[in-house]
Amino acid sequence: MSARSLGVVMNGVTGRMGYRQHLVRSILAIRDQGGVELADGSRVLLEPTLVGRDDAKLRRIAARHGLDRWTTSLDEALEDPTAVIYFDAQVTSARESAIKAAIAAGKHIYTEKPVAESVAGALDLARAARDAGVRNGVVHDKLYLPGLRKLRRLVDSGFFGRILSVRGEFGYWVFEGDWQSTQRPSWNYRAEDGGGLVIDMFCHWHYVLENLFGRVEAVTARTATHIPQRWGEDGSAYTATADDAAYGIFELAGGVIAQINSSWCVRVNRDELVEFQVDGTEGSAVAGLFGCRAQHRANTPRAVWDPDRPVAHRFRDQWLEVPDNQEVDNGFKVQWEEFVRHVLDGAPHPYDFLSGARGIMLATAALESSDLGRRVPLPELVP
């Protein structure tokens, strides 16, 4: 059975994430495998139209991958009747208006997060998509990390018993850009350009906490701009106006307490760039991007505080690796396949604009908590 084609407008593929994860490792990888398999056994190939502000960059990317459709005009791309899906990986400040235009054009929407700059903006998009009858989804890639898939397996099996707490550590040292080139774009550190660690990462932490452990009911947070001056892509110094670290306590449904430290100003002394430790009455686990180690109640050694003697054993050696048990595909690619099936087959897809709005609500509440110095409850959102 031959595969049919489905047009996808991809806005923002000249950026690192849009290019590497969404175009190369998702759309083109799906093309190379022969398309997305649907419920009836047929397959659909995704044909991208690249959209961006820099024609020269678009031309280079298109030539590199044998693509023949690109434009600097979003309106022109949205007028194409063969384009069924619109994807957005632009800077956050440009996203809301572009998605509104795509909804007006009748396209189904798949987007990076945050879906908008405010909760109100995200809810407006959710209502507009609902009223227009277009399907919508937001990227939720952390749930597809091999380590978190293993952690999910432990949660689903009841391994932890009653979950008590979650502790997360995320981050690494992002070079300031003066004597070594930085690893992140300069706009990330300017609040006026939509930058900030809380806006970037708390949307991730929301869907991880919500889908693995329970609804986030309140947050207490403290943000900081630890590095006040950085150097941009052109080598000139600029003032960092956005937060580059955040320390949060999250109260979840069922009494679970989560703590997550997030920082671009921390040197890594852990096995992976992000790790989550989950402690429960029956067992504990530590999961990262790829690995997951667990310790059951029956295997928990007796720890005794003794400041007069060095510890004669390594605590890490007392944990067991959770086996892979299955091959794990690229998480971004899997999400694309799921969204295509959602559009064409009507398969369930809970990670919609409303889910994205809840993530923005958490980020906004965390910033409010830091500004006011108090705990901020999170209401349930209705579209």
Asked if the peptide bond before residue 185 counts as cis, ω within 30 degrees of 0, the response is no
Could you tell me if 341 and 279 lie in one domain?
Answer: no
- 157 phi, psi to nearest 5 deg: -80, -10
Same domain, 246 and 309: yes
Q: Could you tell me the pLDDT band of residue 326, with boundaries at 50, 70 and 90?
A: confident
In a domain, 367, yes or no: no
Round to whole Å and give the CA distance between 120 and 221: 22
Domain assignment of residue 97, yes or no? yes
The DSSP-derived string for 255-269 is G-EEEEEEESB----
For the chain, what is the mean pLDDT? Answer: 95
Determine the Cα–Cα distance for residues 362 and 219; give it in Å rounded to an integer: 8
Q: 343 and 321, same structural domain?
A: no
Q: What pLDDT sits at residue 125?
A: 97
Q: How far apart are CA 73 and CA 60, in angstroms?
A: 17
pLDDT tens digits along 134-168 = 999 999 999 999 999 999 999 999 999 999 999 99
106: left (phi over 0), alpha (psi -120 to 50) or beta: left
Q: What is the pLDDT of residue 364?
A: 96
Domain CATH number, residue 198: 3.30.360.10
Examine the pLDDT at 1 and tell me if it is beyond 60.
no
129, pLDDT greater than 60: yes
Residues 236 and 96 in one domain: no
Q: pLDDT digit string (tens) for 351-373?
A: 999 999 999 999 999 999 999 99
Answer yes or no: is 355 within a domain. Answer: no
What total number of domains does the chain contain? 2
In this structure, the number of other CB atoms found within 10 A of the CB of residue 129 comes to 22
pLDDT of residue 93: 85
Share of the chain above pLDDT 90, in %: 91
> Percent of the chain at pLDDT above 70?
99
What is d(CA 144, CA 160) in angstroms, rounded to the nearest whole number?
20
Q: Are the C-beta atoms of residues 365 and 378 closer than 8 Å to each other?
A: yes
Whether the per-residue pLDDT at 228 is higher than 90: the answer is yes
Question: Nearest 5 degrees, angle CA 262-CA 265-CA 268?
Answer: 80
185: in domain: yes
Q: How confident is the model over 11-48, as pLDDT tens digits?
A: 999 988 999 999 999 999 999 999 999 999 999 999 99
Which residues are registered as beta bridge partners of 86?
9, 109
Please, is 100 exposed, middle or buried when counting C-beta atoms within 10 Å of its C-beta (0-12, 13-18, 19+)?
A: middle
What is the reported pLDDT for 52?
94
At 72-128, the pLDDT tens digits run: 999 999 999 999 999 999 988 899 999 999 999 999 999 999 999 899 999 999 999
Are residues 187 and 270 both part of a single domain?
yes
Q: Domain of 302?
A: 142-328
Indicate whether 169 and 125 sit together in one domain.
no
**pLDDT score at 16:** 87
Residue 383: what pLDDT?
72
Structural domain contains residue 361: no
| The pair of three-digit structure tokens given for residue 208, joined into one six-digit string | 């991880």
Q: Say whether both 284 and 181 belong to one domain.
A: yes
Alpha helices in 168-258 (DSSP H): 197-212
Q: Do 131 and 236 sit in the same domain of this protein?
A: no
User: pLDDT tens digits for 278-287?
Assistant: 999 999 999 9
234: pLDDT strictly greater than 80: yes
